[in-house]
Amino acid sequence: MSKHFQTLIIGGGTAGIMVASQMRKKNKDIKIGLLDPAKEHFYQPAFTLVGANTFDYEDTIRSMKSLIPEGVTWIKEYADKFDPKNNKITTKKGNDFTYDYLVVCPGLRMAPELVEGLTEAMDKGVVCSNYTDPEHTWKILKNFKGGTALFTMPITPIKCGGAPQKIMYLADEHFTSYNVRRKTDIVFAIPGGVIFAVKPVAKTLMGIIDKKDINIRFFHKLVKVDGDKKIAWYEIDKDLDAGGCVVMSDDDSKTLDKDIQYNYKDVKVTKDGDRFGIHFDMMHLAPPQASPKFIANSPLATPEGWLSVDDKTMQHKKYNNIFGLGDVAQLPTAKTGAAIRKQVPVVVANILKMVESNALSDKIYDGYSSCPLVTGYGKMVLAEFDYSKEFKPDPKLKQFPLMIKDSSKEHWRLWILKKYLLPYLYWNKMMKGVEV
């Protein structure tokens, strides 16, 4: 089987559906194919709320069929091999598809195998993750009776770098409501040197850490999980580049004590050579994440395995008729749906301009991303930033009645935005090709 498309899209997640929808709105004559075998599409930003029992898991799901724009050919197969010199994709079934323009946005994959023992421990017993099974997370929080509650994250890039701490704040409030918090030490072990890259937001979050009396352990590289003995093993490395939104800060000397901790708690730790094992009674983690193998092993990848694209135009650095966006792209910003919201119009404008005149449009992506940082039931901070890592609110969001003057501070209106308005905009606007 062989078929040709003017534009072929790999991936039916947020990026793929948005590209297809916006392209169809702007040019109904262009022949588009979308390659993805998944039957369901998930609104993943709500997984944190599912894990805290304040959003129904079923409401995060839509059928892929209901989201594929009219006029787009849905190819229910896995992409397998790239032949960019001949503008060809081969699927796992051995079918070939050719294209004039290719959009690569398959997302990333969970890679628990990068931490010893995690594959065996993941989503079993008291080890949980909103990234993979948020309903299991709620089961663990609901049944927790006290002890050490460990929240942690890997050194790899991850989607939504703020998510590992959002569930921690919600857990704190849940434990408090059920009189468990007084019997609990909450520990946040992270690979970086500060809690968040954007300074005004980091200041707010450190105030919340103080108020909630949470122990942060910096420069902790997760290397092993012993699910049976309930020990998470770390190596201490001050030279680590942190994944997601957590990076080094000029002010880390003010927040680190000599033991690279903040709000020290005397939880049980076992030392084995250069490794430190934190004993836990429950653990929530973001698992390590990586580029899909068919991307990492392709001629489109960087040496690190991510998709190689220009950080402003989203055009592949070697092949001019290939564009990439979303979590798979190697870009110096956070991997979020908010970033995709800004990347999609750039990709669509550039392809349509190339169809018309073999030139790029004047649209560029400035690295905008945002992390809606839920800090408790009914409270949220909205971190917005670009490649500069400065706090830069989106003027479009400022137009919404619910928005507040300074979204780097906690506010109940931002919770309403997260729980109600953003899901509505996602399903009814973004997925249908409306620029928001």
Q: Are residues 128 and 243 in the same domain?
A: yes
Q: Are residues 71 and 216 in the same domain?
A: no
Last residue of a domain, one of 289, 311, 344: 289
Domain count across the chain:
2
pLDDT of residue 401: 64
Q: What gap in Å lies between CA 209 and CA 305, rounded to an integer?
A: 35
The type of residue at 21 is S
Element (H, E) at 336: none
Place of tokens 């939104």: 245
Last residue of a domain, one of 289, 323, 354: 289
pLDDT tens digits for 162-214?
999 999 999 999 999 999 999 999 999 999 998 999 999 999 999 999 999 99
**Is 392 part of any domain?**
no
pLDDT of residue 396: 78
- Domain containing 264 equals 110-289
Q: Are residues 222 and 172 in the same domain?
A: yes
**Is 397 part of any domain?**
no
| Below-70 pLDDT ranges, the chain | 1, 239-259, 400-403
Q: Are residues 123 and 245 in the same domain?
A: yes
**Is 210 part of any domain?**
yes
Q: Are residues 83 and 116 in the same domain?
A: no
Last residue of a domain, one of 289, 305, 320: 289
Segments of 52-136 assigned E as strands? 61-63, 73-75, 79-83, 88-91, 96-104, 109-110, 127-128
Residues taking part in catalysis: 160, 371
Q: Are residues 129 and 240 in the same domain?
A: yes
pLDDT of residue 53: 98
pLDDT of residue 34: 98
Q: Are residues 243 and 114 in the same domain?
A: yes
pLDDT of residue 427: 98
**Is 170 part of any domain?**
yes
Helix boundaries (H) for 62-154? 64-67, 118-121, 134-143
Q: Are residues 47 and 148 in the same domain?
A: no
Q: What gap in Å lies between CA 196 and CA 367, rounded to an integer?
A: 17
Q: Are residues 73 and 157 in the same domain?
A: no
Q: Are residues 126 and 6 in the same domain?
A: no
**Claim: this prediction has a pTM higher than 0.85:** yes
Distances (CA, A) of 56 to 24, 164, 165, 170, 378: 32, 20, 20, 16, 16
pLDDT of residue 240: 47
**Is 405 part of any domain?**
no
* β-pair type (275-279, 269-272): antiparallel
- Cβ atoms within 10 Å of 273's Cβ, excluding its own: 6
Give burial (CB, 10 Å; 0-12/13-18/19+) of 56: exposed
pLDDT of residue 1: 65
pLDDT of residue 148: 98
Percent of the chain residues topping a pLDDT of 90? 89
Q: Are residues 198 and 135 in the same domain?
A: yes
What would the two tokens of residue 264 be?
């020290």
